[in-house]
Structure 1
């Protein structure tokens, strides 16, 4: 399982990469709402103080069997550039030059 904060961190990094690759391009796209739908497992721990952690359940997995209660949630994120507060613009081209 992956922590929810890691999923959001990785999404942020990929969006930042797309913004950097779009800089100076003749055609750019405004990035609107970003929706994530994930299955979460909740873990409560009393070690070192009460703490609740949210884990994103990975598809496929490693074949281990067990019982985990999960909930599906949808997050709607509204990305903004830190410097301007405006929605970011991205190019339509990937790192490999593919579209």
Structure 2
């Protein structure tokens, strides 16, 4: 399992790469709301002041985790560029393999 914060950090990095690759492209896509649905496990520390952490259940591992201990959550994220109210634009290729 991985932390929910790591999933969001990786998503941000992928989107930043797509935005960089959109520079100078004739065809770009306006980035709208992003809906992310994940299966999570909640971990709460036993001591005073402990944090609550959300762990994302990785694909394929969900069958090994009790369905009673996992919850599905849906996050709606609205991407914005720092310092501007304009929506970001992305290029369609996620990596060097797509054209």
TM-score, structure 2 normalization: 0.86
CA deviation map 1:44-97 (0-9, x unaligned): 103473211011011223x9x564601101101000011312211011234315
Distance 1:89 1:66, change over 3 A: closer
Q: 1:21 to 1:38 in 2, by over 3 A?
A: same
Partner SS, residue 72 of structure 2: strand
Aligned pair in 2 of structure 1 residues 11, 66: CA closer, same or farther (>3 Å)?
Answer: closer
> Displaced runs of 4+ in structure 1, greater than 6 A?
none
Counterpart-to-counterpart distance in 2, 1:6 and 1:16: 15
Q: For the residues of structure 2 that align with 1:47 and 1:59, how far apart are their CA atoms?
A: 31
Corresponding residue for 2:12?
Answer: 12
Partner in structure 1 of residue 82 of structure 2: 82
CA RMSD of aligned residues (A): 2.0
Structure 1 residues without counterparts, runs of 5 or longer: none
1:45 aligns with 2:36: no
Runs of 5+ consecutive residues of structure 2 not aligned to the other structure:
none
Following superposition, the deviation at residue 14 of structure 1 comes to 0.2
TM-score norm. by structure 1 comes to: 0.86
